[in-house]
Amino acid sequence: MNKVQHNLWMFGRDDCTRCGGLVIFLILQLQASPKCDGRCSVAQKIKKIKFCVTCVMDSSFKHGRRNDCLTSSANSDISSQLPQFLTKISSLPDKMEFMQILACQYDIAWEDKQANFRQIDRMLHHEAISPGALIVLPEMFSTGFSFNMDTVAEDTQRPAEQYMAQLAADTESCVIGGVVTRDLSGKGLNQALAMGPDGLAISRFTKLHPFSPAGEHHHFHRGHAPEVFDWQGWRIAMFVCYDLRFPEAFRLASKQDAQVMVVIANFPAKRDHHWRSLLVARAIENQCYIVAVNRIGSDPNAKYCGSSLIVDPMGHIVKDAGSEQKVLNIELEQDNLCEYRKAFPVLRDRWMI
């Protein structure tokens, strides 16, 4: 029988629905079962449990999309070790100093949602996804950039949002992707949606600057302001494509202490140099991480450059997807960000915007 390793850390907190006490979310590392074929990812070896410190009610459940390599006795094994883990609770961090990013760059199948859902599943199938990760998909990730509202806009079934909710639940992650909704007038809203593992939207941002050279402003309303949300102790802001050219929008997010700025896009290949240069500039200006996810391939509108990037607060490109289908898989470190901001206090010294 495999034993649960004693590697654990705090993933989150909540209120107990039974007694109102403090519920602790723990992540435990598991060994693979004897049946494991050696291809287990880190995600397959992770176990997440939650319990109330007051009533010590175990609500263990499996983590991961494939659990065949976890021992069937894992739940009881964890439960038997909970008392000894309780003594360690006071020393556990209440936030994650590292956050895993998985940025998915692919050729979006034109106006074919199911094909794109399958494509994302294939790309993530062999990735090691830790609980609390941030998975990022491109602008209009399920259809490509289209003004055909009857096809791209979410209907009453909300297939793109439902897909994101299931992916977030399966991986215990936050999933960011581009969706299209309509307002009461029938006009579109080009949005970046952050979906939590509980199936609820954490944040919904409407593109501030519809791309007028392509006539997007005739089909979509603009948004009003950036919004910063919290995920695993990190402050995250979202932007969509053309917003990248407007630094004042990013500065507004910076004033809300955004640490990670996510840019999702369908950015054309002919302006690849602009894309890369502006992303580096936004990181330097705001002393933040930039997670930028673009698409590759082509559609009836344009050819796309890819060049999905992870940029650190000093403007260094630490991950670059180039023009290939790829998942950028990296951990961001919060301590490095805070130390850099403290040592070089540009944000503290600003006084205008």
Q: How far is CA 54 from CA 16, 28, 57, 352, in A?
A: 9, 20, 8, 49
Q: Which residue has the tokens 């070790």?
A: 81
Q: Which of 97, 101, 100, 131 is nearest to 334 (CA)?
A: 97
Closest residue by Cα to residue 202 from 181, 223, 173, 222: 173
What one-character-per-residue DSSP string does 185-252 give?
A: TS-EEEEEEEE-TTSSEEEEEE-SS--GGGTGGGTEE------EEEETTEEEEEEEGGGGG-HHHHHH
What are the tens digits of pLDDT across the range 50-72?
556 555 444 433 333 333 333 33
Q: Select from 47, 63, 54, 49 the least CA-distant residue to 17.
A: 54
pLDDT of residue 287: 98
96-129 pLDDT, tens digit per residue, is 689 999 999 999 999 999 999 999 999 999 999 9
CB atoms within 10 A of CB 221: 16
Enumerate the active-site residues: 139, 207, 241
Distance from C-alpha of 221 to C-alpha of 205, rounded to nearest angstrom = 12
Higher pLDDT among residues 245 and 2, named by residue: 245
Take residue 21 and report the two structure tokens written for it: 């006490």
With 0-12 / 13-18 / 19 or more C-beta atoms within 10 angstroms meaning exposed / middle / buried, residue 302 is: middle
Distance CA 227, CA 332 (A): 21
| pLDDT beyond 90 at 83 | no
Q: What pLDDT does 25 receive?
A: 59
Sequence-distant (≥ 6) Cβ neighbours of residue 218 within 8 angstroms: none
Q: Are 333 and 112 in contact (CB under 8 A)?
A: no
The domains of the chain are located at 4-91, 98-349
- For the cut 80, the answer to whether the pLDDT of residue 93 exceeds it is no
Q: Which of 182, 187, 101, 177 minimizes the C-alpha distance to 139?
A: 177
What are 37-55's pLDDT values in tens digits?
A: 444 443 344 445 555 655 5
Q: Which of 229, 295, 222 is nearest to 265 (CA)?
A: 295
State which H helix or E strand residue 163 sits in.
helix 159-171
Quote the CA–CA distance of 226 and 251 in Å, as a whole number.
10
277 has a pLDDT exceeding 80: yes
Looking at this protein, which amino acid is placed at residue 25?
Answer: F
Q: How far apart are CA 163 and CA 251, in angstroms?
A: 32
Instruction: Find the mean pLDDT for residues 256-284.
Output: 99
Q: Say which DSSP state 107 is in.
A: B
Q: Running DSSP on this structure, what letter comes out for residue 121? A: H
Question: How many CB atoms sit inside 10 A of residue 192's CB?
Answer: 27
Cα distances (Å, whole numbers) of residue 44 to 12, 69, 70? 20, 7, 7
End-to-end CA distance of the chain: 61
Instruction: Read off the tokens for 165.
Output: 């909710």
Backbone angles phi, psi at 202, to 5 degrees: -80, -40
**Which one, of 279, 289, 272, lies nearest residue 323 by Cα?**
272
pTM of the model: 0.76
Has residue 92 got a pLDDT over 50?
no
CA distance 351 to 353: 6
Task: Return the CATH number of the domain spanning residue range 98-349.
Answer: 3.60.110.10
From residue 31, give the alpha-carbon distance in Å to each of 47, 61, 161.
Answer: 10, 16, 34
The pLDDT of residue 186: 87
Q: Is the pLDDT of residue 208 over 80?
A: yes
> Do 286 and 253 touch, CB atoms closer than 8 A?
yes
